[in-house]
A and B are shown apart, each in its own frame.
Chain A
């Protein structure tokens, strides 16, 4: 009994020491920067390491999906824990502007970028571009004597019945880009576009919650194919899954990825340096080295040859931000009513 009390007293002392460490928040060193990254860690980490090499500023970061990152930044807005929101589709940043989360900042590259790669006031700036693609399972294609789909209408073929997965428009920017692509190839004739989506509906096994949610089922062959961003599709291929990537001859849309400085950031100068670096050729020319399959947003950076080979000949068009912004809510609501729950 005695020895137990002695032991527990010693344990209590040790615990107190650990407890102090546990309760203490992170000390802020001079040249560090805190970031929420929406890019997966295996892409964000090498970028931040290169940034540290270039500037001596160390980046501490955590990775979240776009929705989780925005929810956190929004909850923390009176006392921000990080300085920069890095990566993620531009529409996430648009939602952040509505919440008043960002500080305007125009990097030196700002003037060089085309209009669709920046928010006019500098509330966000694009660091990459990400077109949509068709991704299909090779084994599925072979079993059904199909070629990789080369037209939107190819996806209506009988073998695809209940075998496609794509994202749900209520929760995924990928899906919104897809729907506006369909509107665009139908000359913005909404009735025609919705008639197509309704015809496609029986072939869709599942509308996934996130944009990349269907890549693994397609890779595993549980689904035959789907519509994804090119980074996700090429990543699936790189992981060893036997998938084909193709583009519709009518054309398909693309969406930009952004970066923004948070209002009330505790290290604004370092944050601005990261934005300068990320929006410039300095970062975007490194995509190829780390096998990050984004299309660079900066006009001076050439696309990596193997990525260029995939995209070669594809008809890719940007989604008109004004048109999409003005119609998004209504179109998504119509999609839910007529396509998802008819």
Chain B
């Protein structure tokens, strides 16, 4: 069986073409920029040198920042996965009314759409020494908002939706008959959850943790504002090394140091997940009887926890909306539409630039995620593991470094891309595509190979099998990946600040610009517009899917809040 499938794959032109193309793209957009950057780091005017590297790595302060980053990433990974699972489980099994599900879906998408800096500012405004909540409401004095707690909370709120997006389709995909059987064999609901449902979610949980861990490890914007002086973290230090001390070499070294823990977590989760078997979609299943996972009390308490998180999120966005409608938050609370007028005059160009770029990055990113995820899990291709690993690199590195690496690599011939939209699109696809890859990998680990083997046994080529059998099964992962790429294209800044040019600029750069000009109003208004655009686009995707009656559309449209 094994030998024949290898033999067939060798002859399969579709697979080998896809593999070659993917490797070429990875080489061009991941390995080549990194190599170019390493060249800058290791060679000083043509002379090989490591003295700078040694100096940066032996610095006590930087070592502290390294361990702080690990601690933060670990906490964010655990906390975010837990909350993501809580939401996914409640949404998938809570038997919620449609309207409530919609509220949850909207609330979960909001933090993902949060443009940089705005939530951090809302946090300071609410929880600072004279914060709306800490001082005005609770009357607390001498509160310190800067540090681990606020950075962690802010990052968990921002990133848990990624966990939700990877876990929700997984939970929905678990054959409820299995749980039902366990129960009819006498297991209590709690026991079913502990010994059946939860273990089946392991690939999803592990992937969600990996994504969150790496995202936190690479995030510099949140700690930049919230970490304060007592809790330095490495991505922020790397950013400051470059932009503050004008030391590109040192900053790059610090960023590369972040790859080590990301790599270890990647290998650990790989090892952990590969030891077990998670298939629940076999093609043999008959009709599903819905399984009643929880008692009314549990249902209520789950719902209450979700409601609490949702309220916090909605509060932040209400504040953002309010800031966009007053003259100056904290100074003059007279209502005005002036900030929106600015957007629909001066801001139109950046909005259309951003939409064009996001419009290209979205399908490409979705396709890239599904294709790569599929190839490395399903096809016994050479170097599958290295391909998966390489694909994670741009995600796990701080954006600043990815941006500078792209700038160095693509500024000079032979491949001159600086100043084009292409360089930004490529950056988005290869930096945010991994969400789709992880979602695909997690979902495929749940689906029995025999489905595809049957198709191939009946004479379909691997291209056709992928299109007709696998793709419909992994459509949710495709759209999770595509959605994240689109959202990130609308909201990311760390890498792209180095890639925007005179011809192509982005909304987020405009928001940052407004923040530095102290124009909270326009910054907030831009953010609100971004949120609205993202929701409209996602609703449209859901609508299109429903019109096409694509399989999986129902699951997807629920997931994407449409």
- A residues in contact (CB < 8 Å) with B: 4, 18-19, 22-26, 34, 40-42, 60-68, 70-72, 74-76, 78-79, 81-82, 92, 95, 98-99, 162-163, 168, 170-172, 205-207, 209-210, 212, 215-217, 219-223, 235-236, 239-242, 336, 340-341
Question: Within 8 Å of chain A (Cβ to Cβ): is B124?
Answer: yes
8 smallest beta-carbon distances between A and B, as pairs: A67-B243, A171-B244, A222-B128, A220-B330, A22-B421, A26-B503, A240-B331, A95-B246
Contacts of A210 in B (CB 8 A): 516
What are 12 contact pairs spanning A and B, CB under 8 A?
A22-B360, A40-B516, A41-B517, A68-B498, A71-B248, A75-B407, A171-B244, A205-B144, A216-B518, A222-B125, A240-B327, A240-B332
Contacts of A171 in B (CB 8 A): 240, 243-245
- Chain B 307-344 interface residues, beta-carbon cutoff 8 Å to A: 327-332
Contact status A235-B518, CB under 8 Å: yes
Looking at the assembled complex, report how far the CB atom of A10 sits from the nearest CB atom of chain B, in whole angstroms. Answer: 16
Contacts of B332 in A (CB 8 A): 240
Looking at the assembled complex, report how far the CB atom of B194 sits from the nearest CB atom of chain A, in whole angstroms. Answer: 45
Interface centre among A75, A76, A212 (most CB of B within 10 A): A75
Question: Within 8 Å of chain A (Cβ to Cβ): is B146?
Answer: yes
Q: How far is the CA of A221 from the CA of B328 in the complex (A)?
A: 13
Q: How far is the CA of A40 from the CA of B503 in the complex (A)?
A: 18
Contact status B331-A71, CB under 8 Å: no
Looking at the assembled complex, report how far the CB atom of A179 sits from the nearest CB atom of chain B, in whole angstroms. Answer: 15
Interface centre among A25, A34, A221, A235 (most CB of B within 10 A): A25
Contact status B502-A26, CB under 8 Å: yes
Looking at the assembled complex, report how far the CB atom of B511 sits from the nearest CB atom of chain A, in whole angstroms. Answer: 12
Contact status B516-A221, CB under 8 Å: no
Segment with Cβ contacts to A, from B204-212, B293-301, B411-419: B411-419
Contact status A25-B124, CB under 8 Å: no
Q: How far is the CA of A99 from the CA of B248 in the complex (A)?
A: 11
- Chain B 431-445 interface residues, beta-carbon cutoff 8 Å to A: none
Question: Within 8 Å of chain A (Cβ to Cβ): is B408?
Answer: yes
Q: How far is the CA of A40 from the CA of B418 in the complex (A)?
A: 23
Contacts of A66 in B (CB 8 A): 243
Looking at the assembled complex, report how far the CB atom of B364 sits from the nearest CB atom of chain A, in whole angstroms. Answer: 11
- Total residue contacts A-B, CB cutoff 8 A: 159
Chain A interface secondary structure, helix, strand, loop or mixed?
Answer: mixed
Q: How far is the CA of A183 from the CA of B124 in the complex (A)?
A: 33
Which residue of chain B has its CB nearest to the CB of A336? B61
Contact status B421-A23, CB under 8 Å: yes
Question: Within 8 Å of chain A (Cβ to Cβ): is B180?
Answer: no
Given the interface pairs A206-B228, A209-B240, the reply to whether A23 lies near B513 with Cβ below 8 Å is no
- B residues in contact (CB < 8 Å) with A: 61, 121, 124-125, 128-131, 142, 144-146, 224, 228-229, 236, 240, 242-246, 248, 327-332, 356-357, 360, 404, 407-408, 411-413, 416, 418-422, 425, 497-498, 500-503, 505, 513, 516-520, 548
Contact status B125-A23, CB under 8 Å: no
Looking at the assembled complex, report how far the CB atom of A252 sits from the nearest CB atom of chain B, in whole angstroms. Answer: 22
Q: How far is the CA of A71 from the CA of B502 in the complex (A)?
A: 16
Of A22, A62, A212, the residue contacting B505 (CB under 8 A) is A62
Contacts of B420 in A (CB 8 A): 22-25
Q: How far is the CA of A232 from the CA of B408 in the complex (A)?
A: 33
Contact status A68-B243, CB under 8 Å: yes
Q: How far is the CA of A171 from the CA of B330 in the complex (A)?
A: 28
Looking at the assembled complex, report how far the CB atom of B239 sits from the nearest CB atom of chain A, in whole angstroms. Answer: 8
Q: How far is the CA of A180 from the CA of B514 in the complex (A)?
A: 30
Contact status A67-B518, CB under 8 Å: no
Contacts of A207 in B (CB 8 A): 229
Contacts of B518 in A (CB 8 A): 212, 215-216, 219, 235-236, 239
Contacts of A63 in B (CB 8 A): 513
Contact status A72-B407, CB under 8 Å: yes
Looking at the assembled complex, report how far the CB atom of A177 sits from the nearest CB atom of chain B, in whole angstroms. Answer: 14
A168-B244, A220-B330 known, 5 other contacts, Cβ within 8 Å: A41-B513, A65-B516, A67-B246, A209-B236, A216-B520
Contact status B360-A72, CB under 8 Å: no
Looking at the assembled complex, report how far the CB atom of B501 sits from the nearest CB atom of chain A, in whole angstroms. Answer: 7
Contacts of A205 in B (CB 8 A): 129, 144, 146
Given the interface pairs A64-B497, A79-B411, A171-B240, the reply to whether A74 lies near B419 with Cβ below 8 Å is no
Contact status B61-A61, CB under 8 Å: no
Contact status B131-A222, CB under 8 Å: yes
Given the interface pairs A4-B548, A162-B144, the reply to whether A241 lies near B331 with Cβ below 8 Å is yes
Contacts of B224 in A (CB 8 A): 209
Contact status B519-A78, CB under 8 Å: no
Contact status B129-A81, CB under 8 Å: no
Contact status B124-A68, CB under 8 Å: no
Contact status A222-B130, CB under 8 Å: yes
Of A24, A92, A242, the residue contacting B331 (CB under 8 A) is A242
Q: How far is the CA of A217 from the CA of B125 in the complex (A)?
A: 8
Contact status A222-B129, CB under 8 Å: yes
Contact status B129-A223, CB under 8 Å: yes
Contacts of B548 in A (CB 8 A): 4
Which residue of chain B has its CB nearest to the CB of A82? B502
